[in-house]
Amino acid sequence: MKPLPPLILALLVTGCTETPSTDALESTHTSPNLDPVNVVEPVLFVAAGLNTNGSLVRNYQRGLQYAMDYFGRYGPYYVYLLGPDSEQSVRHIYHQRALTRANADARLGSLEEQTQKFLNQPNIVNEIRSVLSGMAEGGLTWTQDPPILYEDVTTNAHGREKDPVENTWGALHEYHHVFQIAHCDTKQERTSEKNINSWISEGMATYSSAKFMGNLGLSDFEDYMLQLRTSGANIGRPSINEFLRESSDWQLNDEGYWDTGEFAQVYYMLGAWATAYLIHVLNIEEEIVLRDWYYDIPRMGKSAAFRKHMGVSLNEFYRKFDAFIRQTDSVVMQIFDGQTEDN
């Protein structure tokens, strides 16, 4: 949930740059939103010129609705599918976006003052510029102070429109992050007990979105997992096999790979395989690995929740997985034998 280097970002299926919003309004910190009940439906804002035949929204919703059925409802969740065709439409949507972020606390300024403040933020000014020039940017953002909300912003949704499979895939991936963030304190370091490591966030979302795409009949899950090893699939280079040949001392929980630039994909690819290991080698139910164990993180912390649900400590898991993943493709692929695409 940290911006990827541009090279890798361009290769990512999800195009996600998940970052906490830096513009959250000042307020008392509250607990993450843990209550999936009574959360309104996600709201999709679509700029003029897009979705003329309905397929953009339909293919996004295909992923989003599947993910919400699986993970439950968290939000409010606002989806922005934007493009350069109508500046008036784009500015109208950003004005509405500002209103969703306004805090009812009058001490923070009037509605109009808060709206103008948001629209004048340098990152928002730049984002609107990107939309109007047709640049593909954006990703998942969220606020850490009230009003708590999540946003999936696509600055040039014409790309999504032309690629129905990637459109659905991205919607699945980002909603898993919404679920994760709802059970984490993202103000804490990702190594802390109340937040999750990058391999957990990106790896589990990479696994779940690929698995769900397989369930929907839109991709071949097992082939995708193999590709992560051999070619890096749609995540990036080097592939898992290339990376492991060069890195005899890598650690899955080392957050430093973000900073080296070339290894950020480790969290996606090896994290996806670490997720597969939990489900297919340790035989933990998929719903527990992808969803249920998160419920305990706010209360007992990441390490205790992991041990409770997976039956091993995180450190023991890292040791076991390291030995597993260094085996050949044909050996590790055996973990999927007898699996179906249905669940």
In the bound state with Zn ion, the residue whose beta carbon lies nearer, of 75 and 84, is 75
Q: How far is the CB of 12 from Zn ion (least distance, A)?
A: 8
Residue of minimal Cβ distance to Zn ion: 16
In the bound state with Zn ion, the residue whose beta carbon lies nearer, of 51 and 227, is 227
Residue from 8, 16, 67, 325 in contact with Zn ion (CB under 5 A): 16
Query: Tokens at residue 292, please?
Result: 């249920």
Number of residues near Zn ion (by CB under 5 A)? 3
Of 193-212, binders to Zn ion (CB under 5 A) are: 202, 205
In the bound state with Zn ion, the residue whose beta carbon lies nearer, of 33 and 198, is 198
> What sections of the chain are H helices per DSSP?
6-11, 55-71, 87-100, 111-119, 122-132, 158-162, 164-181, 198, 204-215, 221-230, 240-246, 257-260, 265-280, 286-290, 297-300, 302-310, 314-325, 329-333
In the bound state with Zn ion, the residue whose beta carbon lies nearer, of 182 and 205, is 205
Q: How far is the CB of 72 from Zn ion (least distance, A)?
A: 19
In the bound state with Zn ion, the residue whose beta carbon lies nearer, of 8 and 82, is 8
**Angle CA 119–55–74, to nearest 5:** 55
In the bound state with Zn ion, the residue whose beta carbon lies nearer, of 4 and 131, is 4
Closest CA to 290 of 206, 234, 168: 206
Q: How far is the CB of 100 from Zn ion (least distance, A)?
A: 22
Contact at 8 Å (CB) between 66 and 217? no
Which amino acid is present at 28? T
Angle 221-230/265-280 helices, nearest 10 degrees? 130
Binding flag, residue 81, Zn ion (CB under 5 A): no
Q: For the sheet containing 77-81, what is the strand order? A: 19-20, 138-142, 150-154, 77-81, 43-46
Q: How far is the CB of 144 from Zn ion (least distance, A)?
A: 18
Which amino acid is present at 135? M
Q: How far is the CB of 102 from Zn ion (least distance, A)?
A: 28
Which amino acid is present at 226? L
Q: How far is the CB of 17 from Zn ion (least distance, A)?
A: 8
Contact residues: Zn ion, CB under 5 A: 16, 202, 205
